[in-house]
Amino acid sequence: MQYSKTWLQRHFLRLCAIALFAPQLAKAGDTLSARVNKSPTLNDIADNILCYTRDQQTILLHGISAGPETWQRTKLTVTCTNAVLFDRLEANKLANGNGYVKYHIASGRAGSALVTVTVTDDGGNANGGINSISRSFTVTVNPLPLVNTSYTLLNAAGVNGKYAGSNNAQTIKLSAVSPGAVRYNWYPEQLVNNASSATPEYYIQESGPRTFFVTVTNMYGCKTVDSLVVKSLAAGKLYSLSVFPNPVSKNAEVQFIIPHDELYVAVEVYSAAGSKLSTLYQGQAKGKTPYSLRFDGSPYVAGVYFIKLSTPGHEEGFKLVLAK
């Protein structure tokens, strides 16, 4: 192929001109394309899986920008499915491309929700521009195990829960009932025959109260710790009436045990002056079975009160100190 000198000169000059002005042309192109708003940005947000808690949760967000149009302003909004899961859900921007989502699980709620955070800039969406970007993540709130603990005397040949010396120890069956539990751990583990059972046995080795703890884990790995106070009676004592804690600031657990079934049992609260204030229990009761009652001290002023257990053939009282 032959090129004339004139042709070469002309095209060389054109090539030079293109090379010289290419950056400017590219910049002009950028300017034109900048008229079409580019998408704002927001980094991905990891899913949240947690056990039910009343602690407020805060998730920091990163990478918030208007995109290449750094002069544009952005705002952040948040929406969700299953809004009843939260009693607070909000998102806000922070400086330097950061932001946050805060949420607070509504009382007693569990389940999941899809939370969507949207960054919107003020560049509009004319000519196919994009002025918003959304990122979604899932909040999964797993429930805590619900636990009910109790105990029963197994071999009640003698008296209820009586400590009769190490050669005549009685056995108590501890029980933790928790639907969906996958693991139980009782403590002190050395005092029970199977610390990982829902219903281990405890050989009474002492008189007086003994506190057991049980950690219950459910299928989600969420845990609840409950405690159980086993009150073993001194030898010869057939009835039990106890209050825990004592002194009490507001609520106390009153527990009684009677040696045999009765058609009428009453547990009542008396003032220090002897006036009956309330009845905590009244009616039939089974023998050798612990009954737990709740003493609510909120209506009463601080002071000394008496809890009285009455059966047809027995009466006994217990002094309760209410300290507010």
Partner 1 sequence: MKQEITYNRCLLTRAIVKPLVLVLMLLPAFQLQANTYYFSQSAGSDANNGLTTTTPKKSIGAALTLMVSGDTILFKRGDEWYLPLNSLDLRGKSGFTLGAYDSGAQPVIAGMSILTNASWSYDGSLRWSYSLSALGFTDLFRVVVNCTTVLNVSDEGKSNAKTSVTSDSEYYYDKSAEKLYLYTGSSTTGPQYVEVIPASSSLPQGISTVLMHNTSNVIISDIDFRGGSKWNIVHMEAPNRNIDIDNCTMEEASKWASGILVSDTMISTDYNAHITITNCIVDKSFTSFENKDTFLLSGDGIFCLNGVDTGNIAGNTVLNWGHVGISLTSYYAQAPYIHGVHHVTVEANDVSAGNSGYMHALDVSGLAGLTTYNIIKRNNFHNYTTTCHLQGSNNLFFSNIFNGVIGTTHPGQSFQPFGGDMVPWRRPEGIMEARDNWFLNNTIANTGGYSLWLGWGDSAMPYNANITNIKIANNILYSYADFPFKGVPLGLDVDTFATGTNYYRNNNFWNGSSTDVVARFKKYPYLTASGLNSALLCSTYCSNNGQLDPQFTGYFTLGSGADASLKTGGIDYSSYISAYIPLTEFVDYNNVQWRTSTPSRGAIQY
CA distances from 130 to 69, 183, 303 (A): 12, 51, 70
Contact between 213 and partner 1 by CB under 8 A: the answer reads yes
Contact between 33 and partner 1 by CB under 8 A: the answer reads no
Contact between 224 and partner 1 by CB under 8 A: the answer reads yes
Q: Position 7: which residue type?
A: W
Site for partner 1 (CB under 8 A): which residue of 30, 189, 206, 315? 189
Site for partner 1 (CB under 8 A): which residue of 188, 208, 209, 317? 188
Site for partner 1 (CB under 8 A): which residue of 76, 147, 192, 228? 76
Closer to partner 1 by CB, 3 or 71: give it.
71
Contact between 196 and partner 1 by CB under 8 A: the answer reads no
Dihedral sign for Cα atoms in the order 231, 236, 239, 243: negative
Minimal distance, residue 198 CB to partner 1, in Å:
17
Picking from 129, 233, 220, 218, the residue whose alpha carbon sits closest to that of residue 172 is 233
Q: Kind and range of the H or E element at 3?
A: none
Other CB atoms within a 10 A radius of the CB of residue 252 amount to 22
Other CB atoms within a 10 A radius of the CB of residue 258 amount to 23
Contact between 219 and partner 1 by CB under 8 A: the answer reads no
Contact between 166 and partner 1 by CB under 8 A: the answer reads no
Contact between 285 and partner 1 by CB under 8 A: the answer reads no
8 A C-beta contact, residue 112 and residue 140: yes
Site for partner 1 (CB under 8 A): which residue of 33, 53, 81, 279? 53
Site for partner 1 (CB under 8 A): which residue of 2, 4, 6, 70? 70
Contact between 311 and partner 1 by CB under 8 A: the answer reads no
86-93 sheet: strands from edge to edge = 57-61, 99-105, 86-93
Site for partner 1 (CB under 8 A): which residue of 223, 237, 288, 308? 223
Closer to partner 1 by CB, 213 or 291: give it.
213
Minimal distance, residue 183 CB to partner 1, in Å:
9
Is 318 in a helix, a strand, or coil? strand
Positions 79 through 98 that interact with partner 1 (CB under 8 A):
88, 92-98
Strand partners, 322: 248, 303
Separation of first and last alpha carbons in the chain: 108
CA distances from 116 to 74, 84, 134, 267, 302 (A): 16, 15, 6, 55, 51
Closer to partner 1 by CB, 142 or 289: give it.
142
Minimal distance, residue 222 CB to partner 1, in Å:
9
8 A C-beta contact, residue 163 and residue 202: no
Interior angle at CA 30, CA 27 and CA 31, nearest 5: 90
> How many residues form the binding site for partner 1 (CB under 8 A)?
35
Positions 100 through 119 that interact with partner 1 (CB under 8 A):
100, 102
Contact between 194 and partner 1 by CB under 8 A: the answer reads no
- Catalog residues that contact partner 1 under the rule CB under 8 A: 51, 53, 55-56, 58, 60, 70-71, 73-77, 88, 92-98, 100, 102, 185, 187-189, 211, 213, 215, 221, 223-225, 227
